[in-house]
Amino acid sequence: MPTISAGALKRMLHLPANVVIGTPRIERDRTGRETVVVPVRPYARDTGRCAECGGHGRPYDRLPTRRWRHLDIGCARLFLEYAPRRVACAGHGVTVAMVPWARRKSAYTYDFEQQVAWLSVHAPRSAVSALTRVDWKSVGPICRRVADDLRAEQGAGLFDHLRSIGVDETSYRKGHKYMTVVVDHDRGRVVWMHPGHGEKVFDLFFQQLTPAQRASIQVITGDGARWIDECAFRWCPQAERILDGFHIVSWATDALDKVRTAAWREARKAGTTRKGAKDPIKGARWALLKNEGDLTAGQKAQLECVANTNETLWEAYKLKERLRMILKQTADEAAPMLRQWAVDAFLSGIPGFVPLGEKIARRHFDILTTIRSGLSNARLEAINNKIKTTIKIGYGYRNLDNLISLVMLKCGGLDLQLPGRQ
């Protein structure tokens, strides 16, 4: 009966070249299921390397035999078995020697962790745990180790050639829990994430860049948050600050919705609308917020009702639409129109639009720069949606660092591939 040679078996298991394997054996675990155990050892020249730095250390002692989970063979789980040495490293003291098939402090081989990380990007953690037959608590740390390795392979080049970046905050949990996301617009990938938001968090990103990397940044997009302006001016004074057109319009839509809310509450207090009855102003929310060209016939009728019943709300709606149309003009055409809009909003006396008029006047130059550049934060918003989808898929990640690693595997442009597909 033909048998498989050790070399052929090593290639089938996709083990490193500097690994010697012994005769496999079949055992049964506590539940009676069969497991395959393959004895392995590194080449003699690689048995005394420090797991921290990779340098040769003086032999210290040998630990008991341990096992590393490898890719399944058929329906049976497969383990690699070896009694690792400990070495005395000049720089790191007594430490466990490096093994060529697994990461330091991991009970899984490189290939197994690569497969788990790839599955985690595409499936919920519960499904990954059931398919790979590992505890669900182990999935997050595996993703983190794989992401850290892939980012380390890119090294300092991770932040090279950044020309146009976008910054935004995205929620990852209920209770106003946010993390800051920085995106490379040119390559369409997340380059940095960190828990929290605000000036101090954004400073951490720039502190990781070299002076040359900061000097290469020419455009910074984001919403109108002052902390973005302050960090951008302090770290990248040469970069243009681009406001997102969507957020500029959202300033007006937020003010408009507050006017609408106040209008129907006043109508209820005045007794013109019975409690529980359908209020035409309250029901016109989406008609007021939508673009004029996207309105349905019913929503157009709702706007006509608003025009006939509440002059203040109608004036606020027209101001919102004017601002949206101004942003579609060229910079030269928009300059006088934007200035006049700010004056009209300030003089309107409408709550919410008075401070908005002052804000538009204050950000006049930045808004014109946004119109002139033609750039937006749309790519960042799209990636934010992708991040939120990834967070939902990875439901159950309690460790934020593991969750960030999962997002980086999905959206960070890391070269994550299934074992043997490189």
Could you tell me if 50 and 16 lie in one domain?
Answer: yes
For residue 35, report the phi and psi dihedrals to the nearest 5 degrees.
-130, 145
pLDDT digits (tens, 9 = 90+) for 13-63: 888 888 888 888 888 878 778 899 999 998 888 888 888 888 888 888 888
Domain annotation covers residue 354: yes
- DSSP collapsed to 3 states, 323-389: HHHHCCCCHHHHHHHHHHHHHHHHHHCCCCHHHHHHHHHHCHHHHHHHHHHCCCCHHHHHHHHHHHH
What pLDDT sits at residue 201? 92
> Residue 11's domain spans which residues?
1-101
Q: 388 falls in which pLDDT band (50, 70, 90)?
A: confident
Task: Characterize the bridge pairing of strands 19-21 and 25-28.
Answer: unpaired
The closest of 403, 401, 369, 372 to 388, measured between CA atoms, is 403
Q: Tell me the average pLDDT across 192-203.
A: 90
Could you tell me if 254 and 358 lie in one domain?
Answer: yes
Domain annotation covers residue 116: no
Could you tell me if 230 and 327 lie in one domain?
Answer: no
Domain tally for the chain? 3
Domain annotation covers residue 415: no
Domain annotation covers residue 416: no
Could you tell me if 265 and 368 lie in one domain?
Answer: yes
Could you tell me if 193 and 255 lie in one domain?
Answer: no
CA count, 13 A, side-chain hemisphere, 264: 18
Instruction: Reply yes or no on whether the pLDDT at 1 is more than 50.
Output: no
Could you tell me if 97 and 39 lie in one domain?
Answer: yes
pLDDT digits (tens, 9 = 90+) for 74-126: 888 999 999 998 888 888 888 888 899 999 889 999 999 999 999 998 888 88
Could you tell me if 232 and 273 lie in one domain?
Answer: no
For residue 107, report the phi and psi dihedrals to the nearest 5 degrees.
-95, 15
Could you tell me if 178 and 30 lie in one domain?
Answer: no
What pLDDT sits at residue 272? 60
